[in-house]
Each structure stands twice: as C-alpha cells, then as structure tokens.
Amino acid sequence: MLKNLPQSVSTFSGDIDGILYFIYAIVGFFFVATEGYIVYSLVRYRRKDGVKARYETGETWREMRWIIGIVIVVTVLDFVIDSKGAGVWAKVKENFPEGDVRIKVVAQQFSWTFVYPGADGQFDTRDDLTVPRVLHVPIHSKIRLILTSKDVIHSFFLPEVRLKQDILPGRQINAWFEATRTGTFNLFCSELCGLGHTKMLGSLEVQEPADYERWLAETTKEQLE
C-alpha cells in the first residue's frame, strides 16, 4: 500500500514516512489478525446438524476480559502513534526555523507565482523578484515560505517534500522545508479551486548553492532590464 510513495527529498520527509510505516505495521497486524479471525470463525462455527450454538451474553467482566484486554492494547497503541506523531507534526508545522531564504508564494486561479525579496531582503520593495511557476531553492538551506492567495482556497503540495498546506485568502500562512536532493520535483494545488484546478501545476527546482546563486543573479538582471 505504501510502496508507491514518491521519493523523499527533505529533512522531514523521512520522519513523515517513518510515521506512515509505523502506523502501517500496527494496522497491518490488526488487519491480518481480525480478518483472519473472521474467516476462521465462519469456517469453524458453520452450522452443523445437531450442534447448538453456545449461549453467551457477554454481560459479565469475565466474559468481556478478552475484549477489555484488546481494547487496552488498542488504546495504548493509539497514544504511542499520537506521541510519535506529535514530534513530527511540531517539526513540520509548529517550530519554524529562522529561514535562510524567504520566499513569498502567491496562489491564484490557476497559477503559482513566487516572489523573492531581492538584495535588500525585504518584500514589497522595488528589487523584488517575481518568478512564475517554478520555485527555485538551494539545497540544504532552510526555506521559509509565506503562502498567500489572491482569490479562493488553494493548497500548496510538494509530494516529494511531504509538505502540504492550505492557503487561505486574506491571510499569510507560514511553511518551511529543507531540501536534501537536487532535481526537479512536483508542485500541485491539492484543493479544488475551480475550473482550471487540474492545470494549476508548478514545479520545485532544487539546485546546488552555486547554481542557485547564478540563476538568481541572471533572473535579477533580466527583470531589472
């Protein structure tokens, strides 16, 4: 079920996959055990002439002891899953590192635009760099994203990075990631946003720092001209 996960290219994508596999192991066990028990019961207790069913109401603690035991195990596993997950959630969504690179993402029906603050490090100044469709980032840098929408709700989804965050119009929502592999990766809008939702595609370009600086310089030059 999980063998088709896309490649994992960020510092937290492995943590998220770890949670996925951990849950997979637990529910996989319960799946096999429970489905197996159902099939076993249907065969073992099928109707036979002259054999009467057992009268058993399950109203006493003694009769319930198996179920109570399993339910305690289920409850404990629930808390283990949540406490393992809590750390990962906090890493991805709560404890933002101070970003090395800050990029503003502007979503609108049906396109992505990325705004780089330029040399002064400030947004909404004259030297802002506006790049359509492709998000360029340097590898091994903490990327701070400021997500905004001009119209409806969109969702910023980088499958290989394992990052997804809805973007609400009228707000600035923060997100971050750090890429660990260079290459071109996918960017989808994963919230139905209207007629062109399917075609609201972008891409993530993770580059070596030198390549990224060269791209940044060239693009800046182009836009100033």
Partner 1 sequence: MEGNRHQARGNSAHHSHGDEKFIWKYVFSTDHKMIAKQYLFTGLFMALVGAFTAYLMRWQLAYPNTAAPGWGVVTADKFNMLVTMHGTIMVFFVGMPVLVAALSNFVIPLQIGARDMVFPRLNMLSYWVFVASVVCLLASFFVPAGASACGWTGYPPLSASQEYTGIFWGVVLWILALALEFASFTMGGINYLATFMCARAKGLTYSRVPLATWFLVGASLAFFFSVGPLIAGAIMLLLDNVAGTGFYLPQKGGEPLLWQHLFWFFGHPEVYVVFLPGLAAVLEIIPVFSRKPIFGYRTMVWSMAVALALSYVVWAHHMFISGMDPRLAMPFSITTILISVPFAIIIFCMLASLRGGSIRLATPMLWAVGFLVTFLIGGLTGIFLGSAASNIYFHGTYFVVAHFHYTFFPAVFFGGFAAIHFWFPKMFGRMYSERLGKIHFWLTFVFFNCTFWPIFQIGSGGMIRRIADPSQYRILDQFKTLNVFVTISAFILIAGQIVFVINFFWSIFRGPAAEANPFRANTLEWSAASPPPHGNFTAAPVVYRGPYEYSLPDRAEDFVPQNEPPLAQAEGTA
Q: Tell which positions 13-72 bind partner 1, by CB under 8 A.
A: 15-16, 19-20, 23-24, 26-27, 30-31, 34-35, 37-38, 41-42, 45-48, 51-59, 63-64, 66-67, 70-71
Q: Which is nearer to partner 1, 78 or 208 (CB)?
A: 78
187 by Cβ neighbours in 10 Å (0-12 / 13-18 / 19+) ranks as buried
**Are the beta carbons of 123 and 103 closer than 8 angstroms?**
no
Only segment of 116-124, 131-139, 164-172, 206-214 that touches partner 1 (CB under 8 A): 164-172
Residue 22 Cβ vs partner 1, minimum distance, rounded to whole Å: 9
- 154: closest CA among 141, 143, 144, 164? 164
SS3 91: helix
Written as six digits, the tokens of 222 are 């182009």
Between the alpha carbon of residue 211 and those of residues 54, 100, 204, 218, the distances in Å are 75, 16, 14, 11
SS3 115: strand
Binders of partner 1 in range 180-219 (CB under 8 A): 186, 188, 190-199, 201
Residue 184 Cβ vs partner 1, minimum distance, rounded to whole Å: 10
Q: Does 225 bind partner 1 (CB under 8 A)?
A: no
Only segment of 114-122, 132-140, 145-153, 211-219 that touches partner 1 (CB under 8 A): 145-153
Binders of partner 1 in range 116-135 (CB under 8 A): none
